[in-house]
Structure formats: structure tokens, C-alpha cells
Amino acid sequence: MPFTPVIIQSLHMPQFESSLVWFRRDLRSTDHAALHHALQQSRRVFCAFIFDKEILDQLPRADRRVEFIHASILELDASLRELGGGLIVRHAWASEEIVSLAQELGVDAVFANHDYEPAAVARDLQVQNALLAQNRLFFSFKDQVIFEKSEVLSLSATTFSVFTPYKNAWLKKLAAGNDGADALQPWLIEPFAERLAAHPQAIPSLSDMGFEITDLREHRIPTGMSGAQSLVDDFCHRIGLYQDTRNYPAVKGPSYLSVHLRFGSVSIRSLARLAWDAIRAGNGAEGATVWLAELIWRDFYFMILHHHPHVTQGAFKAAYQNITWESGAEADALFAAWCEGRTGYPLVDAAMAQLNQTGYMHNRLRMVTACFLIKDLGIDWRRGEAYFATRLIDFDLAANNGGWQWAASSGCDAQPYFRIFNPITQSEKFDAEGKFIRRYLPQLAQLSHKQIHAPWTCTAMDLQFAGINLGQDYPTPIVDHAQARLATLERYAVVKKVM
């Protein structure tokens, strides 16, 4: 049976003696739905986070995400302590530990925020049933999106599968609520903070859990609530230029808040409010409008995941399951070259170097690299999706799946199958001077702005002058784009026949 969390309305007087708030992907002590409701409805509230072995045991011992979470947990604990409480942190199987902890503390209920991923939905149902067997309640709340599940519907009361009408309906719903204030109002914590229960316990270190320190600090990735706020403060001064700068990887255009949205060290409501206020005030309205649309894409993909969980296994559009992808040793070699940034196409290789070295990839480059793997190399998009899942520090199942299915043309509102990015023209358009390429492929630094996008077209003298031995210092292209384009059109013909 599907997980159907119990939702309760706010009450003026507490109805529970004690409760437990289970933090998951909401690592902050402000504007937190579950924490707000638990505090409002309980005389005493404990807080906990479980480093879930079911997830962590599958990860490499040096994983930036685990370090990011750990650093954010330390800050969350300190913040809760300042409010009079604290965070119980354990390294265990979350589905079992939360139930055991609820019994250990003797709480009446466990509060958490919705998680829409299929595995998390199944886990929460298991926890809910185990708690009910102990006569304890489980409550779950919307927190990581503005509108969820079936809150944004078409005029015929059906869910959307195309983004633009969804966005328009989303904006209309937001505007209908007292100038957007209703959906964006924060869930206050401080008015009830005296109900937080202190429960001092040592927080396990990374090494206690079998993990190692990574290069997170070296890449200056700010962690926790304070790190998120520093990025918000910086972006406030740039939001008006977002529409002009967001597509250029060598320019400081994005907000860089994706990892904080992923782990909830910043509230989605506060970010949507930032954009909404800028739009209403006309202060950088064009940039704020484009950025808000990106936040709406995030809601859209969560909605799609909720209603169509089969996307985690295959194509959103059934016809695209009929595509035959390249396989075998040659395809494996091409895939390895893509993963390691050895395709011979500089923008693709620089983007993969950025991913592999830092755990981050610019959004424009996510599209470029995905389209190259799928439509230049003919490799199943699910292989690329899985690779990104292991590398991206901001990996989010809904957004990652949505992005890859967009590139593969198999998703909802995806690019047409015959739209095939040319990696050279993409490079010339979005990194015209080769600044991004030079940063991650220093061996190409001496090439001119024009030459750097396609080194194999240079004369022997040009390569010699730049100190490049093509094939040794930098690879020749592993595929001819023009030929690959024709092969892709043929590969996707099976879709055209079915549709």
C-alpha cells in the first residue's frame, strides 16, 4: 500500500507530552515544518538525525556528501543547543533506529518532513507501521517544495506533464494566496523553543563511521545554515543579472545553492520569497523571474516523481523504451572516456573534469555532457544518470532523473529527439574565450580563443606552437559528431514509428 502520512492541523494547546523530530533532508533550525508542528503540539520535543547505514554503506569512504552532511549536522546541533535543545545523532539503520529511539525516549509521536523518493516512501511506511504497533503516531509534512503532489492541477483537475502550463498554474496559485504570502510563510521555531528537550550526546565523527575527510574545504564549498546564508547574501546582489549570466560556466552566474536545497540547510520558502519579492518590487525582476522558474522546475520534477515513480527505472514515455543503445566492450570504452573526460571535445572534457574534481557541474554543462553521452555516443542515459548520482554533491534523484530524461528526449516536456547539441557550437557559444576550458584543461591553454573549441582542426604548426602533441597531451575525438548525429536519428526512428 502507498505511504499516506497523517497530517494534523495546528492546535493552540499541546496534545502530546513528548515528541521526536526526525531530521532527514532538512538540516536547519529555522523555517522547518515538522519542527514547528512538533513544538506547537508537544510539551517536550527531542530532535534526532540518523546517519543511515542503508545509504552510507553503499558509498565510497571518501564522499563529499557525507562530509557536507556531517559539518551541517554539527552546526544544526549547535543551533539547537542555543535554543535550549540539541541533536541526537546516531549511525544505524534509520528505519529501525528511529523506532527504537522513540521507545527509548518514550515519546508519543514522531514528526518528519515528506521525502518523495520511492525508497524513502517505503521506509517511512515501515516506520509508521512499527510506531503504530507501539501505539505511537507518525506525522509528516510538506517542507522541501512550495507545492507538492496534486496541489497544482490543470483546469481538468489532472496532473501536468509539460512544464510551461505547470509553471503558469504554479504562479497563479502562488499569487492567489495573499500576494504569494500564504505558501511562502516561514514555519516559526523560536516562539516555541522553550519546549526543546536537551539530551546531550556525543556526535559520531566521520572516522567513527568509517569515512574520511575529503577536499570539501579545498573547493570552498560552504556547509550548513551559515554557508547557505553566505551564498544567499552573495546571490542577492547578482539575481538581477541571472538571466544574462546563468548559461556561461566561466561566469559567476548561478546561486550555487543546489547542495543546500538538497540537504535542506536553506528553506525553499525563503528562496522563493527572495525571488517573489524581487519580482513584485521590480528590483532585478527579469533575473528573479528566470531564477524562480528554476525553483519551479524543482517542484515539477518532485511532482513527476510522486505521480510517476516508474521514471526511476525507465523512460517516462513508454515508446522510448524501444530504443536500442550501444553495448559491449566498445561502448564500455566510450563510456569510460566520457566519465574520465577523454572524449576529445574540450567543453565536454572540461565539464567532466569539473565534476570529477569538485563534485559540482554547471547546469548548462550538465545538458551538454548528457546530450553528448546519449546522442553522440549512443549510450543509455541511465548509465550517465547513475554516474552523476555517484559524483554530484548536490545529487537529487528527482532533478537528476528529470535532467537526464530531458536530454534523452524520453522524459516529460523533454527536448525533441532530433534536437542534438553540437558540442563545438555549444562551446563557442557558452565559453567563447575558452576561459572555462583553460581552467580544467590547462594543456590547451596556449590555443587561441577560436582553436580551443576543436583542437583537432588546428594545423601541425599551431599545435606545435601551443605545445600540444595531439593524441598524447590531449586526445583526438572519440566520435565524429556529424556521423553520430545521423546514427542518433536512425536510433530514434523506432520512437517515431511507435508515436
Distance CA 277, CA 287 (A): 12
* 381 labelled catalytic: yes
* Of 71, 78, 365, 48, residue with least CA distance to 222: 71
Residues in contact with 210: Cβ distance below 8 Å, sequence separation at least 6, in sequence order:
61
CB 159 within 8 A of CB 150: yes
The 3-state DSSP class for residue 43 equals strand
Residues in contact with 33: Cβ distance below 8 Å, sequence separation at least 6, in sequence order:
113, 141, 142, 143, 187
Cα 298 to Cα 148, 364, 398, 405, 413, distances in angstroms:
10, 16, 8, 14, 14
User: Which residue of the set 276, 291, 338, 404 is catalytic?
Assistant: 404
Question: What is the H or E stretch that residue 137 is in?
Answer: strand 137-141
For residues 231, 236, 353, 433, the Cα torsion angle rounded to the nearest 10 degrees is -150
* 363 labelled catalytic: yes
User: Which residue of the set 54, 363, 422, 428 is catalytic?
Assistant: 363
Residues in contact with 435: Cβ distance below 8 Å, sequence separation at least 6, in sequence order:
250
DSSP string for residues in 192-204 = GGGGBPP---PPP
User: Which residue of the set 381, 385, 400, 401 is catalytic?
Assistant: 381
User: Which residue of the set 54, 286, 294, 428 is catalytic?
Assistant: 294
CB 83 within 8 A of CB 196: yes
Cα 497 to Cα 101, 320, 409, 420, 493, distances in angstroms:
56, 11, 15, 19, 6
* 276 labelled catalytic: no
CB 111 within 8 A of CB 22: yes
CB 167 within 8 A of CB 296: yes
User: Is the four-CA dihedral 148, 154, 159, 160 of positive or negative sign?
Assistant: negative
For residue 47, the number of C-alpha atoms closer than 13 Å in the C-beta half-sphere is: 33
Distance CA 235, CA 276 (A): 14
* 22 labelled catalytic: no
User: Which residue of the set 54, 96, 325, 428 is catalytic?
Assistant: 325
* Of 107, 178, 167, 182, residue with least CA distance to 137: 107
User: Which residue of the set 297, 338, 385, 400 is catalytic?
Assistant: 297
**Catalytic residue annotation:** 294, 297, 325, 363, 381, 404
